[in-house]
Structure formats: C-alpha cells, structure tokens
Amino acid sequence: MKLNRIFKLLFILLCLVYGNLNGQDLEATMKMEFAKDDSLNICKVFVSSNDSVVKEVEVKLYVKRLFSLLPVGDATATDEDGMATFEFPKDIPADLNGKLLVIAKIEDDDNYANTEVSGEINWGTPRKANAELERSLAGSRANAPIYFIVVSNLIIFGIWGTLVYVVLQLFRIKRLGHSHKKTISKN
Amino acid sequence: MKEDNENSDRRKFLKFSLLAGGAAIATVGLQKSLVGEPASKETGTKVKVLTADGRLVEIDSSHVTHHASDDVFSKEEIRQGIEGRKFIRVIDLSRCANERKCVAGCQTAHKLLPPIEYIKVKKMQDSELSAPYWFPTMCYHCDNPPCTKVCPVDATFKRTDGIVAIDNDRCIGCKFCMAACPYSARTFNFGRPEQTKFTEANKDSIPENYCKTLYGPEGTVAKCDFCTDRSAQGLLPACVVECPNGAIFHGDELEDTVTNGEDTYRLSELLKSRAGYRQFEELGTKPRVYYLPPVKRQFPFEDATEAHNTIE
Amino acid sequence: MSIQDIKLDKTTYETFTQEEYLVMKDELLRPVQRIGKWGKIWITFLILICLIGIYAYYVQETRSKYVTVSLRDYTMWGVYISNFVFFVALSLIGVLMSAVLKLTHFEWYRPLSRIAEVIAVAAILLAGVSIVAAMGRPDRLHFLFIHGRIQSPIVWDIIVIMTYIATSLILLFIPLIPSLATCKNHLHNKPKWQMKMYELLSFGWEGTAEQWKILKRSIRILTVLVIPLGVSIHTVTAWLFATTLRSEWDSTNFGAYFVSGAFLLGVAGMVVAVFIFRKAYKLEHYLTPMHFDKLGQALVLMACIYIYFNVNEYLVPAYKMSGLHENHLLNLFTGDEAPFYWSVVFFGMIVPAILPLFKAMRKPLPLTIISFIVVIAAWFKRYLIVIPGLSHPYLPIQDVPASWKHYTPSLVEMTIVAATFAAMMLIVTLFSRFFPIISVWEVAEGKLEGKDEIINYK
C-alpha cells in the first residue's frame, strides 16, 4: 500500500512535470466585445478561467498591421467582473472597408498562459484605393505632362518639316537639270 | 508472502509507469501535430512539371524544390505597385551605433559582396561644434525623384506603393540616374570579377532574409529596393531585421504604422513627438525616409575602430 | 535659247576671268586629283589609331569594366563624357564660321565655310561615338528609340543631335553641288566609281539661273535654321549637367557658359585647320594672312566672352562661398585640382584674350600655336567641368576602396578618346581628298558681287 501511494505521488509529479514542460499555467479564455458609449468606441475583453472570472490580469490591445501589431491604448487590468475596458481610437487607418482586426492578448503573466482573442470591427478610417500616378516630369513615358508633349512635338516636326522641304528642293534642281538637257538637245 | 507482494507491486509500478510515460508522450505528440507546423504547407500555386515518363502534370509548387534563380519579377510585375501600401521608413539616429549589421544583412540578402552596399553607414557632423553621429543612408524612394526624371528609357520608375524600382532588363547603363541622385544612393555593376563569380555561384541559393530582387547584370544600376517582395508579404526588410539596436523602423504610411520588429509606433505620433526630419529637405526631392535626431542617445558616440571596404 | 547663252549663264556665276578660273580650278582640285606620299602616310597613321581604338573598345566590352575602365560609383562619368562635351562644342564651328559670319556679311568666311562644315559634321558624329562608348549596355542602344522618355534630357540631346547632323550634312552638301559638277567635268584619271559618285551627287547640276535660285534659297533657309539648332545642341548638352541637383552643376549659367566656350573652341579649331590645309594643300592664295588676322581678332572676342561667363560661373559663387559650393570651388581654386585649373584658365582663356591683341601674334604661325594650346586647354576645361565635382557629393564618401575616391582615366579610356580624335581627322582628311575643301563658287560669287575682301585686303 505504501508503494501504491508512492506510485500515485509519482503520477501526480509526472503530470506536474509534463504540465511544466509545456509551460502551462492556468488556462484562461478571453472574449471580445465591441460597444459604443456616447461618442466613444469601447472594446471590452472578458477573461475567464474554468467558469470563474479572472481579476487583476493585464490585457493588452493591438491592431493587426502589415508587418506587426500596433499597440492600442495602455495595458489594462481586468476588474472584479473579469472585464478589461479599452477606449478605442477613431482615427486608425484601415483597409478599403474600414475593417480592423483587433487582437487582445495576455502576455507574460505570472499565473496565466499566453492567450489571445481577435475580432473584426469597422472602426478604422477607410482608405481610398491607390490613385493612378499623375502626369509629371518624373513619370513614365506615357505620363509626361501634356504641354510638354505638345510643345516638343511642335518643335521637332517644325524643324524636320523644314529639312524635308529643303531636300525636296534638291530634287527640283535635279528635275530642272534634266529638263534643261532636254531643252538643249531639242535645240 | 512478502516477496510475492513485492513482486506484484513492482510489476504494477512498471506497468503503471510505462502507461503514464506512454500517455505523456502520446499527448505531447498529439498536441504537436494539432498545434505545430505541418510538414509541408500547400501554397495553392500550381506549377507544371514533366514527370520521368514524359507526362506534363500540374502539382502544387510546394512539392517542387525552390531555386532562387526561378524567382524573377516579370516586366509587368516590377512596375505594379502593391495595392493599398505606401512604404515609409523612420531611422532613429539615437540608436545607431555603427554596428553595420544592416550593411552585412542587406549584402547577404541580395547576394552582394563588399564594397558594394545598398545601405551605407556614414559618420556625419553637421558643423564644428555640433556632435558627430552615425547616419545610415540608402535610397530614399523619393516622391519627387530626380532619378526617374532623367532616365532616358524608363528603366527606373516610381510605383504607386512609393517604391522607386529598377527594371534591369531595360537599363542601358548611361548612369544619368546616378549623376542625378543627390544622396549618392545608387550603385553600378561594373562587373567586378569577384562579384560576378559570386553571383554566378550563388544564383540558386536562398540566403538569410532572402530578397527576390536581383543584383542586375553588368552594365546596369542597382540600389536599395525596400526589400520589395518581403514587404509585400509582411516580412521586414533585411536591414530592419538585422539591426541589433532596432534603429530602422519600416512601415506603411497608409496604415500610419512603423515597426523595427520589436517596437511598433504610429508613424504620425512618432514623427511629431521625436521631431522627424528628412535629409536635404530643401532639395525638394520629398524622400520617404525620415530621421529622428540623435537626442537622448542610447549610447555615446564612438568613432570607428577599423577601416571598411579597403579591398578593391 | 542657244548654246552660247547657256555658257554665258555658267561663267557669270563661277568666276571672274576664264584664266583666273582655270588657275583656281587646278589649285583647288589638286588635293583631290593627287595624293602625295605624306598624304598617304597621314591617312594610314589615322586609320591605325582608329583600329587600335576599336580594339580597345573590344577589350572594354569583353572584359570586366571594373578592370578596364576607371569609373566607379561616385565618379561614374569620366573622360568619355567630357570628350563628348568637347566634340559637341567643336561641332558649333559650323554655326559660327559658316552661318553667323555669312548672315552678318563678314565676307572673309567664304573660303572657310566648307572646312568649318566638314569639321562640324565629323565632330558631332564622333560625339555620338564617344557617348555610346560610355554606355553600360550598348547592345540596348535601340531602347533609346523604342522606349525613350520625352522628359529625359538625354532624349532631348539625341533628338537635337540627330537634327543637327541632318541639317549640317545637308548644309555641307548643298553648297557642294556646283563643286561636284566641277569635279565631274575637270578631274581626270580617277576611278570610275568616283566619277559615277560625282555624277550622282551633283543632282543634274547645270548652273542654270533657276537652279541657282533654288540652291541659294535652300542654303539661306538652312543657314538661318542651323544657328538656333547649333546653340540648342550645346545648350541641351549643358542641361545634361544643369538638370541635376549636384552643386557643381546646379547653375543657371550653364547653357550660355557652354555655348560661349564652344565659340572660343570653334575659332581656335578653325585657325589650326586653316593652317594645316594652307600648308598641306598649298592653298596660300585662298587662306591668306588676312584670314589669320581676322580669326585672331575673333579669338580675342570669344575669349573675352568666355572669361565673362567664367567669372559669373566661378567668382560669384566664390564670393558667397555657400556650403553647397564650397568643397567644389576650394578644390579647384586651392585644392588638389588647383595647378590643373589655373593652367587651364591661363592657357585656355587669358592667353587667347591677350596675345592676339598684338599684330605680330596674329601672323599664321604664332596664332596657330596659340590656338593649338587653346584647343588642348579646352579639352581639359571640359574634364574639369565634368569630373572633379563628382568626388565631392553632398553626402561624404567614406568606407570605400582607394580607386573609388579619385578618378584617373585608364589606358583603355584614353586610347578610345585618342581614337575619336583620329577618326574625326580621318573624316575631314578623306572628305578633302574627294571634294574640294574650298568652295570655289562662294569665293567667286563674293568677288563678283564686289566683295574684294574675301582674299585680299584693299
């Protein structure tokens, strides 16, 4: 019987070791809610663990960006009801629809494992679609300023037109020469 | 009696421990397979390959070995700006300590050998009485680029995502863009023999912080490209990743966010609170790289102890 | 109309008396008629240098440019570019000697006009060669035409150069037509293909009144056209530098500064060419000491104008010594390039502005020596405009190998530059061996219309 107790102890030890190997603190579950309070946008994060609310746990709020997560507001601890309330800024740029991916995280907490929850909300300022590059001197060939194209072509065709005219005159000389020869031979 | 009991107890213990151990291992293994990385991720892109018996089949590209030399921007791709982005950079001069990890990281990612550098770290001192500081400089991807204005064949151009790109298949090597850049940001491939051999030997390799943009062939111009394909995927450029002090912040102006990998800030707030400025603002080039003045330095200024790039 | 009438038409415009005409014809056709020993040696020598130049270009393109050429990231433009600027400047000689003098009725231009036009055409062609030698990817030359951006100063330069080549060729060719008829009629013992060439190119010239009218009108149109065109060509070349933000080139003065330098080079080049043709082809009757006297005075005038632009370009910024220009100016005035710079200023500007003021210095030989020195100084002046500034960009040059800090032209580059000079002289020489280098009818026309000053003083 003593041995049995030892075995049970070993079993519990094993479970604890196993648990520590996986870095498991207590598991927490988070839920995200969005609400409006007068003119303010509020984001509420509810933290619970095994059906009981979790108090005094720091929750950080982020918005997903291309390269990283942008921190929003300050880290807030959950109150007695397990709720961390964040005032959400109204001026965060978002995609074409104004949609933002908001992420709430518990990070590096002493008692609880790293958890996160995310939610989408249309609280971002929607961006406009990429504008076409306008005509400029720095633009591509097709994007040259109109006045530039017009004036340069006028000058080029004006001068080359004169050159073509002069060359045509040469051929007139040639024709005159031949007709002159004919006149002589006739006489 | 006692012996029998002990034997059976020992047997029980052995059985139990094996069970417990097996269960532990099984659980861990199960967890890993549920949560961890799958062996090979399907990319969803199909490629056509020829099988050993001569059939043309289409398979997912993850099954085909990746050769870097297959990664080329097509003629159209290189001129397309990434939709919805306007890349921007902020460099915190109070953090730069001339570690030159950015220089080395960029050279590795683009398969360059010294002395060819897209990003340079210079010692600047604005006047006799003002303090010296280390100044990382690269192509600023200006909004009014003096280089794209003068290119005779449209080989360098401004994209909608802010990046000033180079089409190496178009460049005729006149070097007018190099003459026009007031920041000396561009470099020319004169065909330095060591570099040519290195490029050829490594054309299939995938280096650390791999960036798809090729160092152009001999007779063309090259420069910092804001690690275009990495930025498109949400990967930070090599220099940003490699800086041990996090001096370079890279981001998207439309998202109003910049990050150095660890710290993320709202661009507008950062520039306002830290008095961001642009180099040679008066030239009117409208660079897309802002500098934060070296106030409240993280460490005192230290002169360079060794000469760099002395080999021809 | 009888045959008698036609003959009268011809002789009216060609010369004064029949004997004088025959003498003139013989003298001016002699270089075409016969090439002496030294003539052949000269042509062979030039061809040899051209071939060596072609080989040097082959070496440059097949071996790594890092090894064959001294260009590096900071000094990315070198002697090819300064040589290009020099040849574009030289090509304005046609504008000055042929067009400007003609329209302002300085009649002594008449024997010089064809020499000037040939040098102009040869120079601009070699300018094009020099710039192609500088390209990193000459195999993509056609991209300039199919992908060209109208906003780029290089494209403007190409357009203007091509227009100028066309105009100068036509302006060289049209006044040549009557001379071609003379060649056709009076040369003997020449290969058949050559005679056929004269026949074809003379465009059926008979010397009738109507043909003369058309010829003169065409020349007049082109003479007027070539002046703004020639000024444009060098202004646009100046803009290759002035459209950049570099402090050494960021000057509103650049267009006029370059054009005035081109005029100085044109006069100096003309003196050298006239002296050589005078001696080599024994044309002392037509290229007389009077010409050297006038050219010497022109040299003083052009040098003074060039000094004026140099003062505006260098001394005014030096007064302010703005931080942007400081490095470059001090480098030229008191720094590494100082001995070089002041020699060029002295020999390229002071000497031609002062020495030819003395009549003794305007004699053929002294003036030719002065002009030769001016031509060499002019080449180095363009070197000083293009290259030293590149070593002092806005952001300091640090952490680079030694060869990146300072540019010294490599052997391959200098060989190709020498070959461009040889090629230019070869084109001029070959032209003068196939066509008379002095335009007989233009000389005769002036004499006939009472302008005695063409050859002799009164």
Give one DSSP letter per residue of B162-221, joined into a string. Answer: S-EEE-TTT-----HHHHH-TT---EE----HHHHHHHHHTTT---TT---PPPPPTT-E
pLDDT value at residue C12: 42
User: Half-sphere exposure of residue C101, counting CA atoms within 13 Å on the CB side?
Assistant: 26
Predicted confidence at residue C91, as pLDDT, reads: 96
Longest Cα–Cα distance in chain B? 102
- Owner of token pair 């005769």: C444
pLDDT of residue A186: 62
Count CB neighbours of A152 within 10 A.
16
Residue C207 confidence (pLDDT) above 70: yes
pLDDT of residue C206: 79
What average pLDDT does the structure give for chain C?
A: 89
CB contacts of C140 in chain B (<8 Å) are 153, 170-173
Which residue, C210, C181, C147, is CA-closest to C25?
Answer: C181
Percent of chain B with pLDDT over 70: 79
The tokens for C61 are 């393109």
- Of the pLDDT bands very low, low, confident and very high (cuts 50, 70, 90), residue B45 is low
Give the gap in angstroms from C-alpha A186 to the nearest C-alpha of chain B.
Answer: 59
How do B87-92 and B289-292 pair as beta strands? parallel
Across the range C159-177, mean pLDDT stands at 93
Residues 6+ apart with CB under 8 A from C223: C98, C99, C102, C103, C171
Instruction: Give the C-alpha separation, C363 to A121, whole Å.
Output: 93
Q: Which residue out of A166, A175, A185 would a mutagenesis test of the C interface target, given it has the greatest number of C Cβ atoms within 10 Å?
A: A166
Who wins on pLDDT, B288 or C16?
B288
Quote the CA–CA distance of B210 and B261 in Å, as a whole number: 17
- pLDDT at site C233: 95
Which residue of chain C has the CA closest to B223?
A: C73
**Range B204-213 burial, b when 16+ CB lie within 10 A, else e:** eeeeebbbbb
pLDDT number for residue C101: 87
Q: Tell me if A134 sits within 8 A of A47, measured CB to CB.
A: no
Amino acid C9: pLDDT? 38
Question: Touching check for B146 and chain C: CB below 8 Å?
Answer: yes
In this predicted complex, what is the ipTM?
Answer: 0.89
What's the distance, Cα to Cα, between the start and end of chain A in Å? 150
Mark yes or no for CB contact A127/B16 under 8 Å. no
Whether C203 sits inside 8 A of A170 (CB atoms) is yes
Distance from the first to the final alpha carbon of chain B: 89
Q: What's the confidence (pLDDT) of residue C163?
A: 96
Cα separation, C232 vs C254, in Å, equals 12
Mean pLDDT of A66-85: 88
- What's the confidence (pLDDT) of residue C33? 87
Backbone angles phi, psi at C242, to 5 degrees: -70, -15
Nearest residue to C363 via CA among C292, C314, C415: C292
- In what helix (H) or strand (E) does residue C49 lie, and over which residues does it extend? helix C37-62
- Is the CA virtual torsion C167, C421, B180, C325 positive or negative? negative
What average pLDDT does range C125-136 have in this prediction? 95
pLDDT in tens, C22-57: 777 788 888 888 888 999 999 999 999 999 999 999
pLDDT of B36 reads 44
pLDDT at B38 over 70: no
Contacts of C159 in chain A (CB under 8 A): 156
Per DSSP, the three-state class of B48 is strand
* β-sheet bridge partners, residue C286: none
**CB distance B152–C243 less than 8 Å?**
no
| pLDDT score at C16 | 44
Worst-scoring range by mean pLDDT, C67-81, C123-137, C188-202, C412-426?
Answer: C188-202
Confidence of residue C137 (pLDDT cuts 50, 70, 90): very high
pLDDT at C25: 77
Res C443 pLDDT > 60:
yes
Q: Which helix (H) or strand (E) holds A102?
A: strand A100-106
pLDDT score of B37 more than 80: no
State whether B161 and A130 contact (CB < 8 Å): yes
CB contact under 8 A, C218 and A163: no
What is the mean pLDDT of the segment spanning B2-23? 63
Arithmetic mean of pLDDT, C258-262: 96
The DSSP element (H or E) to which C69 belongs, if any, is none
Q: Does the pLDDT value for residue C191 go beyond 60?
A: yes
When scoring C1, C151, C168, C198 by the number of chain A Cβ atoms within 10 A, the one with the most, hence best to mutate, is: C151
Q: Which of A41-45, B164-168, C295-299 has the lowest mean pLDDT?
A: A41-45
- Binning pLDDT at 50, 70 and 90, where does residue C203 land? confident
Q: Does the pLDDT value for residue A119 go beyond 80?
A: yes
Inter-chain touch C245–B146, beta carbons under 8 Å: yes
Per-residue model confidence (pLDDT) at position C451: 56
C394 reaches B (C-beta below 8 A): yes
Give me the pLDDT at residue B54, please: 66
Residue B132, pLDDT score:
94
Determine contact: C393 vs chain B, CB below 8 A: yes
Prediction pTM value? 0.87
Q: From the list A11, A70, A129, which residue is nearest B257 (CB)?
A: A70
Instruction: Specify the higher pLDDT residue, C322 or B22.
Output: C322
Is a pLDDT exceeding 50 seen at residue C238? yes
Q: Model confidence over B75-97: pLDDT tens digits?
A: 788 888 888 899 999 999 999 99
| Digit-coded pLDDT (tens) for A132-154 | 788 989 888 888 999 999 999 99
Mean pLDDT lowest among A75-84, B22-31, B58-67, C85-94: B22-31
Q: Are C40 and C31 in contact (CB under 8 A)?
A: no
Q: Determine the pLDDT at residue B7.
A: 63
- The whole-angstrom separation of Cα B102 and Cα B136 is 9
Q: How far apart are CA C17 and CA C23, in angstroms?
A: 10
Arithmetic mean of pLDDT, C255-283: 95
CA distances from B60 to B64, B65, B212, C406 (A): 8, 11, 20, 53
What would the pLDDT profile of C109-118 be if each residue is shown by its tens digit? 888 999 999 9
Q: How distant, in Å, are the alpha carbons of A178, B268, B290, B292 from that of B273?
A: 87, 9, 13, 10
How far apart CA A88 and CA A40 sit, in angstroms, is 7
Closest partner CB to B182 (pick from C243, C394, C404): C394
The CA distance from A179 to A186, in Å, is 10
C-alpha C330/C-alpha C260 separation (Å) is 24
Confidence (pLDDT) at C449: 61
Which two tokens mark B202? 């490594």
Beta-bridge partner residues of C287: none
Contact B306/C at CB under 8 A = no
> Does the beta carbon of A71 lie under 8 angstroms from any beta carbon of chain B?
yes
**Cα(C324)–Cα(C327) distance, integer angstroms:** 7
- Give the model's confidence band at B73: pLDDT under 50 very low, under 70 low, under 90 confident, else very high: confident
CB contact under 8 A, B219 and C71: no
B163-192 average pLDDT score? 95
First to last CA, chain C: 40
Question: How far apart (Å, rounded) are the C-alpha atoms in residues A155 and C163?
Answer: 11
Rounded distance between C-alpha atoms, residue C12 and residue B161, angstroms: 74
Contact yes or no for C205/C176 (Cβ under 8 A): no
Segment C344-385, tens digit of pLDDT: 999 999 999 999 999 999 999 999 999 999 999 999 999 999
- Structure confidence at residue C8 (pLDDT): 40
Q: Is A67 exposed, middle or buried (0-12, 13-18, 19+ CB in 10 A)?
A: buried
Flag if B255 and A66 touch (Cβ within 8 Å): yes
User: Exposed, middle or buried: residue B201 (CB in 10 Å: 0-12, 13-18, 19+)?
Assistant: exposed
- Looking at chain C, the whole-number percentage of residues with pLDDT higher than 90 is 72
C366, two tokens? 């002294």
Task: Find the residue in B nearest to C131 (Cα).
Answer: B174
Say if residue B288's pLDDT is above 70. yes
Residue B294: predicted pLDDT? 93
**pLDDT confidence of residue B78:** 86
Contact predicate C106/C453, CB 8 Å: no
Task: Map tokens 């590059």 to a residue.
Answer: A133
Cβ separation C150–A148 shorter than 8 A:
yes
d(CA B145, CA B141): 7
CB B87 within 8 A of CB B226: yes
Mean pLDDT to the nearest integer, B14-24 = 62
pLDDT in the model for residue C130: 96
Mean pLDDT of A170-174: 86
pLDDT band at B105 (very low <50, low <70, confident <90, very high): very high
Residues of chain C contacting residue B193, judged by C-beta atoms under 8 Å apart: 64, 66-67
Cα gap C367→A79, rounded to integer Å: 100
Sequence-ordered alpha helix ranges (H) in C205-280: 209-242, 254-280
Which of A167, A176, A180 comes nearest C170 by C-beta? A167
Q: What is the DSSP string of B248-277?
A: EEEEETTTTEEE-SS-EEEHHHHHHHTT-B
Higher pLDDT, C126 or C209: C126
Cβ distance A29 to A78 under 8 Å? no
Q: What is residue B25's predicted lDDT score, i.e. its pLDDT?
A: 58
B154–A141 C-beta distance less than 8 A? yes
pLDDT averaged over every residue in chain B:
86
